[in-house]
Amino acid sequence: MLDIKLIRKEPEVVQKRLRLKDPKIDLAPLIKADKEWQAITPKLENLRAEKNRLAKEVGFKKAKNEDSSKEIERMSALKTQEAELSKEQASLEETVKTLLSEYPNLPFSEVPFGTSAADNVEIHRFQEKKELGFLFKHHVELSDALGLFDFERGAKVSGRGFPIYNHVASKIELALWNLMLETHQKNGFHLRMMPLLVRPETMYASGQLPKFESQLFKLKDEDFHLYLIPTSEVPINSLYRDEILEEKELPLLLTSLTPCFRREAGAAGSNERGLIRTHQFYKVELFALTTPETSPNVHEKMIQSAHEILETLELHYRDMLLCSDDMSFAAAKTVDIEVWLHGQNRYYEVSSASNCSCYQARRSNIRYRKKDGALDFVHTLNASGLATSRLMVALLESNQKEDGSIHLPQKLAKRVGFEVIRADGTIT
């Protein structure tokens, strides 16, 4: 959530920066509601001061056995006015809060302006795209030949977008989870096992509500009103909600593995089939709470930890600094790490590393006490470390051979216990 004090102080500057994300953004409704809300405060203070003065007057008159009916009548009228003004103030406060929640985070100054993903800027790459030199297969075709996934039975059980991983694919997936978690823990991130169902206020605190309500799976009946998490960033962000941390505790570096659930599974075109966009997938998350001064360095630390995994797997990747239009709602700066998928003939994101500045912390009310005793909001950061479904696609498609087999990279092969997956069903 944005700082209302900053908007009051520099409304034109804030609106100009917000319009880098969305040119249609207009702060006028918020500014109008906020001014009306602020205007009620002195009116209430004057009413209460008058009530206190009259109460003393009534006390004096009663002590002298004098008539105080006029003062009592006036106090009653003031009490009615106070109740009406308090109700109006509460309504305006809720309006201001609702309007504030609908505005995205302000982009950092180093974020390039852009109107689409075409304006993102490549800032780093590892190796180059692997040239296969033969008529290669899409990962769905590889799956059909090698029996890796069962999309049809997954659809029978749960519907389209819920793939089943067969034995060999499951072993690879498990090995990837362990590789990721071990790497991140080595790099200083502490493991958490998080709930998969969360309250509405938890979704709100991370910026998922109200904007993304339609994209979420939810459970709502007379006993429960809960949401399935779209990413473990959501519950981790609320771990310290409404708490005050000490500066010496920061940065807090956390990692978690969870399934992720998203209603919007994307387009149904030929390139989007299989594992590219699904309603359920697994992801290792990186999350950090930092001081404003240390958040840029922690952002880089997250990116480097994700890099280490991709380089261990010998996968070509590139880093893209997202332009203002392509960033997420809560992000102030985002670097996407993308791998090349041969079957799709394009790059796809496997990690999105975002610095959300104090935006989520304001919604979550997470502050820290500085060494001088002053309180300030923490910065929150998150990154995929990594999303395994597209990573699986990259591994399968880039390591296929002309005879239809797949040769896993050496360090992954040691973890799963085999290196070659053959069309006859054998693994060695």
Question: pLDDT by residue (tens digit) across 366-388?
Answer: 999 999 999 999 999 999 999 99
Question: pLDDT by residue (tens digit) across 54-103?
Answer: 999 999 989 989 898 898 999 899 999 999 999 999 999 999 999 999 99
| Catalytic entry in 295, 305, 324, 352 | 352
Question: pLDDT by residue (tens digit) across 198-235?
Answer: 999 999 999 999 889 999 999 999 999 999 999 999 99
Asked if 352 is an active-site residue, the reply is yes
Question: pLDDT by residue (tens digit) across 104-117?
Answer: 999 999 999 999 99
- Strand pairing of 218-220 and 333-341? unpaired
* pTM for this entry: 0.92
194: tokens are: 């998080």
Question: DSSP letter at 234?
Answer: H
pLDDT band at 159 (very low <50, low <70, confident <90, very high): very high
Asked if 262 is an active-site residue, the reply is yes
Chain-wide mean pLDDT for the chain?
A: 95
Domains and CATH numbers, the chain: 28-101 (1.10.287.40), 117-421 (3.30.930.10)
| Catalytic entry in 305, 390, 397, 398 | 390
- In this predicted structure, the answer to whether residue 150 has a pLDDT above a threshold of 50 is yes
Asked if 76 is an active-site residue, the reply is no
Question: pLDDT by residue (tens digit) across 298-355?
Answer: 999 999 999 999 999 999 999 999 999 999 999 999 999 999 999 999 999 999 999 9
| Catalytic entry in 232, 238, 262, 389 | 262
| Catalytic entry in 57, 247, 349, 419 | 349
Least confident of 11-20, 56-65, 108-117, 144-153: 56-65
Which residue is listed with tokens 């693994």?
427
- In this predicted structure, the answer to whether residue 267 has a pLDDT above a threshold of 50 is no
**Model pLDDT, residue 265:** 57
How would you list the strands of the sheet with 197-198, edge to edge? 197-198, 225-228, 218-220
| Packing angle, helices 388-398 and 139-146, rounded to 10 | 80
| Catalytic entry in 17, 143, 232, 277 | 277
- In this predicted structure, the answer to whether residue 243 has a pLDDT above a threshold of 70 is yes
